[in-house]
C-alpha cells in the first residue's frame, strides 16, 4: 500500500467507524480489523505506515499485537499507537509503542499522532 495507510485494530464497531471516518476525511487509506489476529494478517499483507491498536481486544491484548509486529521483519518498522483506558500505567512501561493514546481520546490528538508518525516514516525512508 502506500505511506498514507493506517490500520485500525479495534473491536468496538462504533469507535472503529469513527476513527475510519476521520482518517478517511484526512486523506488516509484506512484498513480495519476487529481483532488482533486479523490486524496482524493485514499488517503483514499490506504493511501500513501506522497501526492504531486497542489494548483490550477479544483474542489478544494490544501489547501482544505490538510484540508480534516488532518480531516480524516485514512489520517491525511500522509505527504503533496503543490506545488504552489505562494509559498512565502503559506509558511507564510500554516498550516498542511509538505512542500511547488515552481512551476516551480527543480525535484531534489521534489525528495529530497519525500525521506526525506518517511524516516521520516518510522522512526516514527518503
- In DSSP terms, 101 is beta-bridged to 83
Comparing C-alpha atoms, which of 116, 111, 85, 86 is closest to residue 98? 116
Residues 6+ apart with CB under 8 A from 52: 6, 7, 8, 9, 10, 19, 81, 83, 101, 110, 114
Q: Say if 52 falls within a structural domain.
A: yes
Tell me if 32 sits within 8 A of 5, measured CB to CB: no
Q: Say if 123 falls within a structural domain.
A: no
Q: Say if 126 falls within a structural domain.
A: no
Q: What's the pLDDT score for residue 126?
A: 41
Q: Say if 122 falls within a structural domain.
A: no
- Domain at 83, CATH number: 3.40.50.2300
Lowest-confidence region among 12-26, 45-59, 90-104: 90-104
- In DSSP terms, 31 is beta-bridged to 7
Tell me if 94 sits within 8 A of 63, measured CB to CB: yes
Q: Say if 13 falls within a structural domain.
A: yes
Model confidence at 1, pLDDT cuts 50, 70, 90, reads: very low
Does 37 score more than 80 pLDDT? yes
Q: Say if 124 falls within a structural domain.
A: no
Q: Say if 125 falls within a structural domain.
A: no
Average model confidence (pLDDT) for the chain? 89
Q: Say if 18 falls within a structural domain.
A: yes
Q: What's the pLDDT score for residue 123?
A: 58
Tell me if 69 sits within 8 A of 75, measured CB to CB: yes
> E-assigned strands of 34-113?
50-54, 79-84, 99-102
Side-chain half-sphere CA neighbours of 40 within 13 A: 19
**Residue 91 lies in domain:** 5-117
Model confidence at 92, pLDDT cuts 50, 70, 90, reads: low
| Over residues 22-38, mean pLDDT | 97
Number of domains in the chain: 1
Amino acid at each position: 500500500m502506500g505511506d498514507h495507510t493506517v490500520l485500525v485494530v479495534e473491536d468496538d464497531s462504533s469507535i472503529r467507524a469513527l476513527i475510519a471516518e476521520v482518517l478517511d476525511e484526512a486523506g488516509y487509506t484506512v484498513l480495519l480489523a476487529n481483532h488482533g489476529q486479523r490486524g496482524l494478517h493485514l499488517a503483514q499483507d499490506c504493511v501500513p505506515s501506522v497501526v492504531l491498536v486497542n489494548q483490550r481486544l477479544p483474542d489478544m491484548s494490544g501489547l501482544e499485537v505490538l510484540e508480534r509486529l516488532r518480531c516480524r521483519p516485514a512489520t517491525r518498522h511500522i509505527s504503533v499507537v496503543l490506545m488504552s483506558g489505562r494509559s498512565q500505567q502503559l506509558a511507564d512501561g510500554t516498550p516498542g509503542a511509538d505512542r500511547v493514546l488515552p481512551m476516551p481520546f480527543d480525535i484531534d490528538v489521534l489525528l495529530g499522532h497519525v500525521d506526525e508518525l506518517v511524516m516521520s516514516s516518510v522522512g526516514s525512508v527518503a
